[in-house]
Structure 1
Amino acid sequence: MVRRQQAADRAVRPKLRSPGHPKYQRHVEAAFWTEIAKGLLPEEAAVVVGVAPAVATRWYRQCGGMRPFDSKPPSGRYLSFSEREEIALLRAQGKGVREIARDVGRHPGTISRELRRNAATRSGKLDYRASVAQWKADMAARRPKTAKLVAKPGLHAYVQERLSGQIATSGGTPITGPMTGSWTGRNKPHRKDRAWVQAWSPEQIANRIRLDSRMMNPCASVTRRSTRPSTSRAAGR
Protein backbone atom coordinates (compact mmCIF):
# COMPACT_ATOMS: atom_id res chain seq x y z
CA MET A 1 0.00 0.00 0.00
CA VAL A 2 2.85 2.34 0.84
CA ARG A 3 4.60 1.66 -2.48
CA ARG A 4 1.37 2.26 -4.35
CA GLN A 5 0.91 5.63 -2.62
CA GLN A 6 4.51 6.63 -3.37
CA ALA A 7 4.03 5.75 -7.04
CA ALA A 8 0.86 7.84 -7.11
CA ASP A 9 2.68 10.80 -5.57
CA ARG A 10 5.43 10.57 -8.19
CA ALA A 11 2.82 10.43 -10.96
CA VAL A 12 1.23 13.77 -10.03
CA ARG A 13 4.35 15.54 -8.80
CA PRO A 14 6.50 17.34 -11.40
CA LYS A 15 10.04 16.15 -11.86
CA LEU A 16 12.36 17.84 -9.38
CA ARG A 17 15.74 19.14 -10.46
CA SER A 18 18.58 17.59 -8.55
CA PRO A 19 20.71 20.11 -6.65
CA GLY A 20 23.79 18.17 -7.73
CA HIS A 21 26.99 18.13 -5.71
CA PRO A 22 26.73 20.30 -2.57
CA LYS A 23 28.46 23.61 -3.06
CA TYR A 24 31.64 24.23 -1.10
CA GLN A 25 31.01 26.47 1.87
CA ARG A 26 32.22 30.05 1.96
CA HIS A 27 34.83 29.46 4.65
CA VAL A 28 36.48 26.81 2.44
CA GLU A 29 36.70 29.19 -0.51
CA ALA A 30 37.87 32.00 1.78
CA ALA A 31 40.64 29.75 3.11
CA PHE A 32 41.66 28.95 -0.48
CA TRP A 33 42.09 32.64 -1.34
CA THR A 34 44.01 33.18 1.89
CA GLU A 35 46.52 30.55 0.76
CA ILE A 36 46.68 32.15 -2.69
CA ALA A 37 47.53 35.48 -1.02
CA LYS A 38 50.46 33.73 0.68
CA GLY A 39 51.93 32.95 -2.75
CA LEU A 40 50.81 29.34 -3.24
CA LEU A 41 49.73 27.97 -6.60
CA PRO A 42 46.07 26.90 -7.01
CA GLU A 43 47.05 23.21 -6.90
CA GLU A 44 49.06 23.76 -3.71
CA ALA A 45 46.26 25.76 -2.08
CA ALA A 46 43.82 22.98 -3.00
CA VAL A 47 45.84 20.49 -0.96
CA VAL A 48 45.88 22.81 2.06
CA VAL A 49 42.12 23.47 2.14
CA GLY A 50 41.14 19.95 1.06
CA VAL A 51 39.47 20.45 -2.34
CA ALA A 52 40.11 18.87 -5.72
CA PRO A 53 42.82 20.54 -7.85
CA ALA A 54 40.33 20.92 -10.72
CA VAL A 55 37.95 22.85 -8.43
CA ALA A 56 40.74 25.12 -7.19
CA THR A 57 41.92 25.79 -10.73
CA ARG A 58 38.37 26.67 -11.78
CA TRP A 59 37.99 29.10 -8.85
CA TYR A 60 41.27 30.77 -9.75
CA ARG A 61 40.48 30.95 -13.47
CA GLN A 62 36.92 32.23 -13.10
CA CYS A 63 38.04 35.09 -10.83
CA GLY A 64 41.10 36.00 -12.87
CA GLY A 65 43.39 35.28 -9.94
CA MET A 66 41.66 37.86 -7.73
CA ARG A 67 39.75 37.16 -4.52
CA PRO A 68 35.95 37.38 -5.12
CA PHE A 69 33.94 39.95 -3.21
CA ASP A 70 31.38 37.44 -1.91
CA SER A 71 33.84 34.96 -0.39
CA LYS A 72 33.32 36.27 3.13
CA PRO A 73 31.38 33.98 5.51
CA PRO A 74 27.78 35.01 6.36
CA SER A 75 27.12 37.16 9.41
CA GLY A 76 25.94 35.66 12.69
CA ARG A 77 22.38 36.65 11.88
CA TYR A 78 22.00 33.67 9.54
CA LEU A 79 22.46 29.99 10.31
CA SER A 80 25.80 28.61 9.21
CA PHE A 81 26.38 25.22 7.63
CA SER A 82 27.90 23.87 10.86
CA GLU A 83 24.79 24.94 12.78
CA ARG A 84 22.59 23.20 10.21
CA GLU A 85 24.67 20.04 10.60
CA GLU A 86 24.16 20.20 14.37
CA ILE A 87 20.41 20.73 13.89
CA ALA A 88 20.26 17.69 11.60
CA LEU A 89 22.07 15.51 14.15
CA LEU A 90 19.87 16.63 17.03
CA ARG A 91 16.75 16.15 14.91
CA ALA A 92 17.86 12.61 14.04
CA GLN A 93 18.20 11.92 17.77
CA GLY A 94 14.51 12.75 18.21
CA LYS A 95 14.94 16.02 20.09
CA GLY A 96 12.25 18.71 19.96
CA VAL A 97 12.44 22.25 18.66
CA ARG A 98 13.05 23.93 22.02
CA GLU A 99 15.69 21.41 23.04
CA ILE A 100 17.49 21.89 19.73
CA ALA A 101 17.29 25.67 20.16
CA ARG A 102 18.94 25.45 23.59
CA ASP A 103 21.76 23.24 22.30
CA VAL A 104 22.42 25.38 19.21
CA GLY A 105 21.94 28.71 20.99
CA ARG A 106 19.18 30.02 18.73
CA HIS A 107 15.60 31.17 19.23
CA PRO A 108 13.01 28.35 19.01
CA GLY A 109 11.20 30.26 16.26
CA THR A 110 14.38 30.23 14.16
CA ILE A 111 14.71 26.47 14.53
CA SER A 112 11.03 25.91 13.77
CA ARG A 113 11.20 27.97 10.55
CA GLU A 114 14.42 26.24 9.52
CA LEU A 115 12.91 22.77 9.92
CA ARG A 116 9.77 23.78 8.04
CA ARG A 117 11.21 25.83 5.16
CA ASN A 118 14.47 24.09 4.34
CA ALA A 119 13.57 20.44 4.85
CA ALA A 120 14.00 17.96 2.00
CA THR A 121 10.71 16.83 0.43
CA ARG A 122 11.85 14.43 -2.32
CA SER A 123 10.92 11.42 -0.17
CA GLY A 124 7.34 12.65 0.24
CA LYS A 125 7.88 13.78 3.84
CA LEU A 126 9.83 16.48 5.65
CA ASP A 127 13.35 15.14 6.09
CA TYR A 128 15.89 17.68 7.33
CA ARG A 129 19.41 17.39 5.89
CA ALA A 130 22.10 20.01 6.31
CA SER A 131 23.30 20.02 2.68
CA VAL A 132 19.77 20.38 1.27
CA ALA A 133 18.90 23.04 3.84
CA GLN A 134 21.99 25.08 2.92
CA TRP A 135 21.17 24.77 -0.79
CA LYS A 136 17.60 25.97 -0.21
CA ALA A 137 18.82 28.88 1.91
CA ASP A 138 21.24 29.95 -0.83
CA MET A 139 18.48 29.79 -3.44
CA ALA A 140 16.11 31.85 -1.26
CA ALA A 141 18.80 34.50 -0.75
CA ARG A 142 18.71 35.41 -4.47
CA ARG A 143 16.22 38.27 -4.40
CA PRO A 144 15.24 39.39 -7.93
CA LYS A 145 15.73 43.06 -8.70
CA THR A 146 16.55 45.28 -11.65
CA ALA A 147 20.18 44.75 -12.59
CA LYS A 148 22.52 47.74 -12.54
CA LEU A 149 23.74 46.79 -16.00
CA VAL A 150 20.19 47.23 -17.30
CA ALA A 151 19.59 50.57 -15.59
CA LYS A 152 22.97 52.05 -16.62
CA PRO A 153 23.78 51.72 -20.36
CA GLY A 154 27.22 53.26 -19.92
CA LEU A 155 28.14 50.70 -17.30
CA HIS A 156 26.78 47.92 -19.51
CA ALA A 157 28.96 49.01 -22.45
CA TYR A 158 32.00 49.32 -20.15
CA VAL A 159 31.57 45.74 -18.91
CA GLN A 160 30.81 44.23 -22.31
CA GLU A 161 33.93 45.76 -23.87
CA ARG A 162 36.16 44.10 -21.30
CA LEU A 163 34.33 40.79 -21.27
CA SER A 164 34.76 40.57 -25.04
CA GLY A 165 38.39 41.68 -24.92
CA GLN A 166 37.70 44.76 -27.09
CA ILE A 167 38.93 47.87 -25.25
CA ALA A 168 39.04 51.30 -26.89
CA THR A 169 41.64 53.99 -26.36
CA SER A 170 40.81 57.54 -25.32
CA GLY A 171 40.51 58.43 -29.03
CA GLY A 172 37.99 55.66 -29.69
CA THR A 173 40.37 53.25 -31.43
CA PRO A 174 39.55 49.65 -30.46
CA ILE A 175 42.29 47.55 -28.91
CA THR A 176 42.12 43.79 -29.44
CA GLY A 177 42.37 41.70 -26.31
CA PRO A 178 45.14 39.18 -25.67
CA MET A 179 45.33 36.22 -28.04
CA THR A 180 45.53 32.87 -26.30
CA GLY A 181 45.55 29.28 -27.45
CA SER A 182 42.45 27.11 -27.63
CA TRP A 183 41.34 25.73 -24.29
CA THR A 184 38.90 22.81 -23.93
CA GLY A 185 38.87 22.67 -20.15
CA ARG A 186 38.87 19.69 -17.85
CA ASN A 187 35.11 19.72 -17.30
CA LYS A 188 32.54 20.16 -20.07
CA PRO A 189 30.01 22.23 -18.04
CA HIS A 190 32.69 24.88 -17.47
CA ARG A 191 34.02 25.27 -21.03
CA LYS A 192 32.18 28.59 -21.36
CA ASP A 193 34.71 30.05 -18.93
CA ARG A 194 37.35 30.13 -21.69
CA ALA A 195 35.88 33.47 -22.84
CA TRP A 196 37.06 35.00 -19.56
CA VAL A 197 40.55 33.55 -20.06
CA GLN A 198 40.86 35.54 -23.29
CA ALA A 199 39.46 38.76 -21.81
CA TRP A 200 38.87 40.29 -18.35
CA SER A 201 37.33 38.45 -15.42
CA PRO A 202 34.38 40.00 -13.51
CA GLU A 203 36.62 40.63 -10.49
CA GLN A 204 39.21 42.40 -12.65
CA ILE A 205 36.53 44.61 -14.20
CA ALA A 206 34.98 45.48 -10.84
CA ASN A 207 38.37 46.48 -9.42
CA ARG A 208 39.30 48.49 -12.52
CA ILE A 209 36.07 50.50 -12.37
CA ARG A 210 37.17 51.91 -9.03
CA LEU A 211 40.14 53.47 -10.77
CA ASP A 212 38.37 54.58 -13.96
CA SER A 213 35.30 56.17 -12.45
CA ARG A 214 33.89 56.66 -8.98
CA MET A 215 30.39 56.88 -10.44
CA MET A 216 30.43 53.24 -11.58
CA ASN A 217 31.36 50.88 -8.78
CA PRO A 218 29.43 47.57 -8.99
CA CYS A 219 30.37 44.42 -7.20
CA ALA A 220 31.79 41.43 -9.06
CA SER A 221 28.54 39.47 -8.78
CA VAL A 222 26.74 42.21 -10.74
CA THR A 223 29.44 42.04 -13.40
CA ARG A 224 29.17 38.25 -13.59
CA ARG A 225 25.40 38.44 -14.13
CA SER A 226 25.96 40.37 -17.37
CA THR A 227 26.64 37.07 -19.14
CA ARG A 228 23.69 35.20 -17.63
CA PRO A 229 20.12 34.89 -18.93
CA SER A 230 18.75 36.68 -15.82
CA THR A 231 19.93 40.01 -17.24
CA SER A 232 17.95 39.52 -20.44
CA ARG A 233 14.86 38.67 -18.42
CA ALA A 234 15.30 41.84 -16.42
CA ALA A 235 15.61 43.83 -19.65
CA GLY A 236 12.30 42.38 -20.83
CA ARG A 237 10.58 43.68 -17.74
Structure 2
Amino acid sequence: MGITRKTGYRWRAERGGVPPGRLEDAARSHRYLSLLERQRIATLRGQGLGVREIARRLDRAPSTVSRELVRNMLRHDGDRYDGDLAHARARDRTRRPRGSRLLADGELAQVVQDKLKLEWSPQQIAAHLRLTYPDRPAWHVCHETIYQALYNGSSGLSRTLTRRLRTGRPLRKRRRRPDRRKIRFVVPSVLIEHRPAIVAERARVGDWEGDLIVGRMSRSAIGTLVDRTTRYVRLVHLPHGHNADQLVTGMLTTLGDLPEHVRRTLTWDQGSEMARHDLLADHFTDGIYFAEPGSPWQRGTNENTNGLLRQYFPKGTDLNIYDAQALRDVEERLNNRPRRTLGWKAPIDVFTPALAR
Protein backbone atom coordinates (compact mmCIF):
# COMPACT_ATOMS: atom_id res chain seq x y z
CA MET A 1 0.00 0.00 0.00
CA GLY A 2 3.03 2.27 -0.06
CA ILE A 3 3.11 2.92 3.70
CA THR A 4 5.82 2.39 6.32
CA ARG A 5 5.74 -0.52 8.73
CA LYS A 6 5.16 1.91 11.61
CA THR A 7 2.00 3.18 9.91
CA GLY A 8 0.84 -0.38 9.36
CA TYR A 9 1.26 -1.18 13.06
CA ARG A 10 -0.63 1.97 13.98
CA TRP A 11 -3.52 1.17 11.64
CA ARG A 12 -3.72 -2.33 13.07
CA ALA A 13 -3.76 -1.04 16.66
CA GLU A 14 -6.15 1.88 16.14
CA ARG A 15 -8.36 0.76 13.25
CA GLY A 16 -8.25 -3.03 13.30
CA GLY A 17 -6.26 -3.05 10.10
CA VAL A 18 -8.67 -0.82 8.17
CA PRO A 19 -6.80 2.03 6.42
CA PRO A 20 -8.28 5.48 6.82
CA GLY A 21 -10.26 6.69 3.85
CA ARG A 22 -9.32 10.26 4.62
CA LEU A 23 -7.43 12.18 7.25
CA GLU A 24 -9.92 13.31 9.86
CA ASP A 25 -10.00 17.05 10.40
CA ALA A 26 -9.97 16.50 14.15
CA ALA A 27 -6.55 14.92 13.88
CA ARG A 28 -5.07 17.83 11.96
CA SER A 29 -3.30 20.76 13.52
CA HIS A 30 -5.24 24.01 13.89
CA ARG A 31 -2.54 25.57 11.74
CA TYR A 32 -4.29 24.15 8.69
CA LEU A 33 -7.68 25.16 7.36
CA SER A 34 -10.38 22.56 7.91
CA LEU A 35 -13.04 21.49 5.43
CA LEU A 36 -15.64 23.53 7.34
CA GLU A 37 -13.47 26.64 7.19
CA ARG A 38 -12.97 26.25 3.45
CA GLN A 39 -16.72 25.84 2.96
CA ARG A 40 -17.30 29.02 4.99
CA ILE A 41 -14.76 30.88 2.85
CA ALA A 42 -16.69 29.78 -0.25
CA THR A 43 -20.00 30.92 1.26
CA LEU A 44 -18.72 34.29 2.49
CA ARG A 45 -16.89 34.96 -0.76
CA GLY A 46 -20.09 34.20 -2.64
CA GLN A 47 -21.76 36.91 -0.55
CA GLY A 48 -19.23 39.41 -1.85
CA LEU A 49 -17.19 39.83 1.36
CA GLY A 50 -13.53 40.79 1.13
CA VAL A 51 -10.50 38.87 2.37
CA ARG A 52 -10.13 40.81 5.62
CA GLU A 53 -13.77 40.45 6.59
CA ILE A 54 -13.69 36.72 5.84
CA ALA A 55 -10.54 36.37 7.93
CA ARG A 56 -12.16 38.26 10.81
CA ARG A 57 -15.19 35.97 10.83
CA LEU A 58 -13.00 32.86 10.70
CA ASP A 59 -10.59 34.26 13.32
CA ARG A 60 -7.74 33.75 10.87
CA ALA A 61 -5.03 36.02 9.52
CA PRO A 62 -5.95 37.81 6.28
CA SER A 63 -2.79 36.37 4.70
CA THR A 64 -4.08 32.83 5.43
CA VAL A 65 -7.29 33.45 3.50
CA SER A 66 -5.45 35.24 0.71
CA ARG A 67 -2.96 32.38 0.24
CA GLU A 68 -5.79 29.86 0.31
CA LEU A 69 -7.56 31.58 -2.58
CA VAL A 70 -4.35 31.75 -4.59
CA ARG A 71 -3.29 28.16 -3.98
CA ASN A 72 -6.56 26.28 -4.33
CA MET A 73 -8.50 28.25 -6.92
CA LEU A 74 -7.13 27.33 -10.34
CA ARG A 75 -7.44 29.34 -13.54
CA HIS A 76 -10.10 27.12 -15.10
CA ASP A 77 -12.30 27.60 -12.00
CA GLY A 78 -12.97 31.12 -13.14
CA ASP A 79 -13.73 33.43 -10.24
CA ARG A 80 -15.50 30.72 -8.23
CA TYR A 81 -13.95 29.20 -5.09
CA ASP A 82 -15.27 25.71 -4.24
CA GLY A 83 -14.59 24.74 -0.61
CA ASP A 84 -14.84 20.96 -1.12
CA LEU A 85 -12.65 21.02 -4.21
CA ALA A 86 -10.09 23.28 -2.50
CA HIS A 87 -9.94 20.92 0.50
CA ALA A 88 -9.31 17.93 -1.77
CA ARG A 89 -6.51 19.80 -3.56
CA ALA A 90 -4.89 20.77 -0.26
CA ARG A 91 -5.02 17.17 0.96
CA ASP A 92 -3.47 15.86 -2.24
CA ARG A 93 -0.68 18.39 -1.89
CA THR A 94 0.17 17.19 1.63
CA ARG A 95 0.65 13.67 0.26
CA ARG A 96 3.06 14.71 -2.46
CA PRO A 97 5.97 12.26 -2.69
CA ARG A 98 9.32 13.51 -1.46
CA GLY A 99 12.51 11.75 -2.38
CA SER A 100 15.02 10.98 0.35
CA ARG A 101 18.16 13.10 0.15
CA LEU A 102 20.19 10.14 1.39
CA LEU A 103 18.74 7.92 -1.32
CA ALA A 104 19.59 10.45 -4.01
CA ASP A 105 23.16 11.04 -2.81
CA GLY A 106 25.06 7.78 -2.33
CA GLU A 107 28.19 9.55 -1.08
CA LEU A 108 26.26 11.29 1.67
CA ALA A 109 24.56 8.03 2.61
CA GLN A 110 27.95 6.33 2.92
CA VAL A 111 29.28 9.04 5.24
CA VAL A 112 26.19 8.72 7.45
CA GLN A 113 26.42 4.93 7.49
CA ASP A 114 30.08 5.01 8.49
CA LYS A 115 29.27 7.22 11.47
CA LEU A 116 26.31 5.06 12.48
CA LYS A 117 28.61 2.03 12.51
CA LEU A 118 30.74 3.94 15.02
CA GLU A 119 27.55 4.29 17.13
CA TRP A 120 27.22 8.02 16.58
CA SER A 121 23.73 9.36 17.18
CA PRO A 122 21.83 11.00 14.27
CA GLN A 123 22.10 14.34 16.08
CA GLN A 124 25.88 14.01 16.34
CA ILE A 125 26.07 13.07 12.66
CA ALA A 126 23.95 16.05 11.61
CA ALA A 127 26.23 18.41 13.56
CA HIS A 128 29.33 16.72 12.10
CA LEU A 129 28.10 17.23 8.54
CA ARG A 130 27.59 20.95 9.11
CA LEU A 131 31.00 21.45 10.72
CA THR A 132 33.02 19.25 8.38
CA TYR A 133 31.36 20.17 5.08
CA PRO A 134 30.39 23.85 5.39
CA ASP A 135 30.66 24.30 1.62
CA ARG A 136 28.18 21.49 0.86
CA PRO A 137 24.81 22.79 2.11
CA ALA A 138 23.01 19.89 0.41
CA TRP A 139 24.63 17.64 3.02
CA HIS A 140 23.32 19.68 5.95
CA VAL A 141 20.51 17.30 6.84
CA CYS A 142 18.77 17.33 10.20
CA HIS A 143 18.81 14.36 12.54
CA GLU A 144 15.16 13.57 11.78
CA THR A 145 16.10 13.00 8.12
CA ILE A 146 18.55 10.33 9.26
CA TYR A 147 15.99 8.73 11.54
CA GLN A 148 13.46 8.64 8.70
CA ALA A 149 16.00 7.04 6.39
CA LEU A 150 16.84 4.42 9.03
CA TYR A 151 13.28 3.43 9.77
CA ASN A 152 12.14 3.52 6.16
CA GLY A 153 14.11 0.81 4.38
CA SER A 154 13.76 2.41 0.94
CA SER A 155 15.26 5.76 1.97
CA GLY A 156 18.96 5.09 1.55
CA LEU A 157 20.09 3.47 4.80
CA SER A 158 19.99 -0.13 5.97
CA ARG A 159 17.47 -0.86 8.72
CA THR A 160 20.04 -3.10 10.39
CA LEU A 161 21.85 0.06 11.46
CA THR A 162 19.04 0.74 13.95
CA ARG A 163 20.92 -1.68 16.22
CA ARG A 164 23.66 0.95 16.47
CA LEU A 165 21.33 3.55 17.95
CA ARG A 166 21.18 4.18 21.69
CA THR A 167 17.84 2.41 22.01
CA GLY A 168 18.58 -0.36 19.50
CA ARG A 169 14.90 -0.42 18.56
CA PRO A 170 14.04 -1.82 15.10
CA LEU A 171 10.85 0.29 15.13
CA ARG A 172 10.18 3.76 16.42
CA LYS A 173 8.21 3.84 19.62
CA ARG A 174 5.05 5.84 19.50
CA ARG A 175 4.77 8.21 22.44
CA ARG A 176 1.65 9.57 23.99
CA ARG A 177 1.09 13.29 23.99
CA PRO A 178 1.27 14.69 27.54
CA ASP A 179 -2.11 16.40 27.18
CA ARG A 180 -3.80 13.07 26.34
CA ARG A 181 -2.62 11.14 29.38
CA LYS A 182 -5.28 9.88 31.73
CA ILE A 183 -5.48 10.74 35.41
CA ARG A 184 -4.03 7.75 37.28
CA PHE A 185 -4.65 8.78 40.87
CA VAL A 186 -7.85 8.28 42.83
CA VAL A 187 -6.75 10.86 45.40
CA PRO A 188 -6.01 14.21 43.65
CA SER A 189 -2.33 15.00 43.28
CA VAL A 190 -0.61 18.34 43.85
CA LEU A 191 1.52 19.63 40.97
CA ILE A 192 5.07 20.84 41.41
CA GLU A 193 4.05 24.47 40.90
CA HIS A 194 2.54 24.41 44.41
CA ARG A 195 5.72 23.09 46.02
CA PRO A 196 7.32 25.46 48.60
CA ALA A 197 9.70 27.90 46.91
CA ILE A 198 12.52 27.00 49.27
CA VAL A 199 12.78 23.57 47.63
CA ALA A 200 14.06 25.13 44.41
CA GLU A 201 16.83 26.90 46.35
CA ARG A 202 18.35 23.61 47.59
CA ALA A 203 18.98 25.38 50.89
CA ARG A 204 17.90 22.57 53.21
CA VAL A 205 18.13 18.81 53.56
CA GLY A 206 15.02 16.65 53.23
CA ASP A 207 13.56 17.56 49.85
CA TRP A 208 13.54 14.29 47.91
CA GLU A 209 12.96 13.38 44.27
CA GLY A 210 11.86 9.86 43.39
CA ASP A 211 11.16 7.50 40.51
CA LEU A 212 11.47 3.88 39.40
CA ILE A 213 14.16 2.28 37.29
CA VAL A 214 12.49 -0.56 35.45
CA GLY A 215 13.93 -3.89 34.39
CA ARG A 216 13.37 -6.11 31.37
CA MET A 217 9.81 -6.08 29.99
CA SER A 218 8.79 -3.83 32.92
CA ARG A 219 8.51 -6.93 35.11
CA SER A 220 10.83 -5.70 37.84
CA ALA A 221 11.82 -2.35 39.30
CA ILE A 222 13.82 -0.54 41.95
CA GLY A 223 12.60 2.65 43.59
CA THR A 224 15.09 5.52 43.73
CA LEU A 225 15.13 8.45 46.13
CA VAL A 226 17.68 11.28 46.09
CA ASP A 227 17.96 14.33 48.30
CA ARG A 228 18.06 17.47 46.14
CA THR A 229 20.63 19.28 48.29
CA THR A 230 23.12 16.57 49.29
CA ARG A 231 22.55 14.06 46.42
CA TYR A 232 22.21 11.38 49.09
CA VAL A 233 20.62 8.25 47.58
CA ARG A 234 18.23 5.69 49.03
CA LEU A 235 17.02 2.68 47.05
CA VAL A 236 13.64 1.02 47.53
CA HIS A 237 13.63 -2.78 47.34
CA LEU A 238 10.58 -4.07 45.44
CA PRO A 239 10.94 -7.86 45.31
CA HIS A 240 7.26 -8.62 44.75
CA GLY A 241 6.39 -6.08 42.06
CA HIS A 242 5.99 -2.34 41.63
CA ASN A 243 2.29 -1.56 41.74
CA ALA A 244 0.94 1.18 44.01
CA ASP A 245 0.53 -0.93 47.16
CA GLN A 246 3.90 -2.64 46.75
CA LEU A 247 5.64 0.70 46.32
CA VAL A 248 4.02 2.05 49.50
CA THR A 249 5.28 -0.99 51.44
CA GLY A 250 8.81 -0.56 50.07
CA MET A 251 8.85 3.19 50.68
CA LEU A 252 7.72 2.83 54.30
CA THR A 253 10.54 0.36 54.91
CA THR A 254 13.12 2.67 53.33
CA LEU A 255 11.89 5.78 55.11
CA GLY A 256 11.62 4.08 58.48
CA ASP A 257 15.12 4.98 59.66
CA LEU A 258 15.04 8.60 58.52
CA PRO A 259 14.07 11.21 61.14
CA GLU A 260 11.16 13.51 60.42
CA HIS A 261 13.26 16.64 59.91
CA VAL A 262 14.92 15.10 56.81
CA ARG A 263 11.57 14.05 55.33
CA ARG A 264 10.15 17.36 54.14
CA THR A 265 8.91 16.95 50.55
CA LEU A 266 8.82 14.30 47.86
CA THR A 267 8.61 15.05 44.13
CA TRP A 268 7.64 12.19 41.79
CA ASP A 269 6.54 11.83 38.19
CA GLN A 270 3.05 10.90 37.00
CA GLY A 271 3.63 7.14 37.16
CA SER A 272 0.73 4.93 38.24
CA GLU A 273 2.95 3.37 40.91
CA MET A 274 2.20 6.47 43.03
CA ALA A 275 -1.57 6.03 42.84
CA ARG A 276 -1.64 5.54 46.65
CA HIS A 277 0.48 8.58 47.44
CA ASP A 278 -2.08 9.46 50.11
CA LEU A 279 -0.70 6.62 52.25
CA LEU A 280 2.74 8.27 52.20
CA ALA A 281 1.58 11.86 52.76
CA ASP A 282 2.01 11.75 56.54
CA HIS A 283 5.69 10.82 56.15
CA PHE A 284 6.61 14.12 54.43
CA THR A 285 5.99 17.19 56.55
CA ASP A 286 5.64 19.61 53.63
CA GLY A 287 3.78 17.29 51.26
CA ILE A 288 4.14 15.18 48.11
CA TYR A 289 4.24 16.85 44.70
CA PHE A 290 4.16 15.66 41.11
CA ALA A 291 5.99 16.90 38.04
CA GLU A 292 3.89 17.85 35.04
CA PRO A 293 3.29 15.05 32.49
CA GLY A 294 6.20 14.56 30.09
CA SER A 295 8.48 16.92 32.04
CA PRO A 296 11.37 14.86 33.46
CA TRP A 297 13.59 17.95 33.72
CA GLN A 298 11.47 19.07 36.67
CA ARG A 299 13.07 16.20 38.56
CA GLY A 300 16.52 16.61 37.07
CA THR A 301 18.46 15.48 40.15
CA ASN A 302 16.63 12.15 40.18
CA GLU A 303 16.99 11.66 36.42
CA ASN A 304 20.74 12.22 36.69
CA THR A 305 20.95 9.80 39.62
CA ASN A 306 19.04 7.13 37.69
CA GLY A 307 21.61 7.46 34.93
CA LEU A 308 24.39 6.81 37.46
CA LEU A 309 22.52 3.81 38.84
CA ARG A 310 22.28 2.22 35.40
CA GLN A 311 25.99 1.45 35.68
CA TYR A 312 25.03 -1.06 38.37
CA PHE A 313 21.54 -1.98 37.14
CA PRO A 314 21.82 -2.10 33.31
CA LYS A 315 18.77 -1.69 31.13
CA GLY A 316 17.24 -4.91 29.86
CA THR A 317 18.18 -6.94 32.95
CA ASP A 318 15.94 -8.61 35.50
CA LEU A 319 16.20 -6.38 38.58
CA ASN A 320 14.75 -9.09 40.82
CA ILE A 321 18.19 -10.70 40.95
CA TYR A 322 19.35 -7.89 43.27
CA ASP A 323 18.43 -8.42 46.91
CA ALA A 324 18.17 -5.77 49.61
CA GLN A 325 21.83 -6.10 50.53
CA ALA A 326 22.91 -5.53 46.92
CA LEU A 327 20.89 -2.29 46.93
CA ARG A 328 22.55 -1.18 50.17
CA ASP A 329 25.97 -1.85 48.63
CA VAL A 330 25.16 0.36 45.61
CA GLU A 331 23.82 3.08 47.92
CA GLU A 332 27.09 3.03 49.84
CA ARG A 333 29.13 3.31 46.64
CA LEU A 334 27.23 6.35 45.38
CA ASN A 335 26.94 8.08 48.74
CA ASN A 336 30.68 7.79 49.40
CA ARG A 337 31.69 9.02 45.94
CA PRO A 338 32.91 12.67 45.81
CA ARG A 339 30.71 14.94 43.71
CA ARG A 340 31.79 18.06 41.90
CA THR A 341 28.48 19.80 42.65
CA LEU A 342 29.26 19.36 46.37
CA GLY A 343 32.75 20.80 46.10
CA TRP A 344 34.16 17.27 45.81
CA LYS A 345 32.59 16.20 49.09
CA ALA A 346 30.75 12.89 49.28
CA PRO A 347 26.93 12.99 49.76
CA ILE A 348 27.20 11.11 53.04
CA ASP A 349 29.58 13.77 54.41
CA VAL A 350 26.96 16.46 53.77
CA PHE A 351 23.86 14.45 54.69
CA THR A 352 25.08 12.90 57.95
CA PRO A 353 25.53 16.22 59.87
CA ALA A 354 21.89 17.04 59.05
CA LEU A 355 20.71 13.93 60.85
CA ALA A 356 22.06 15.21 64.18
CA ARG A 357 20.12 18.46 64.09
Larger radius of gyration between Structure 1 and Structure 2: 2
Query: TM-score normalized by structure 1?
Result: 0.36
Query: TM-score normalized by structure 2?
Result: 0.25
> Where is the strand percentage greater, Structure 1 or Structure 2?
2
Structure with greater contact order relative to length (CA < 8 Å, sep ≥ 6): 1
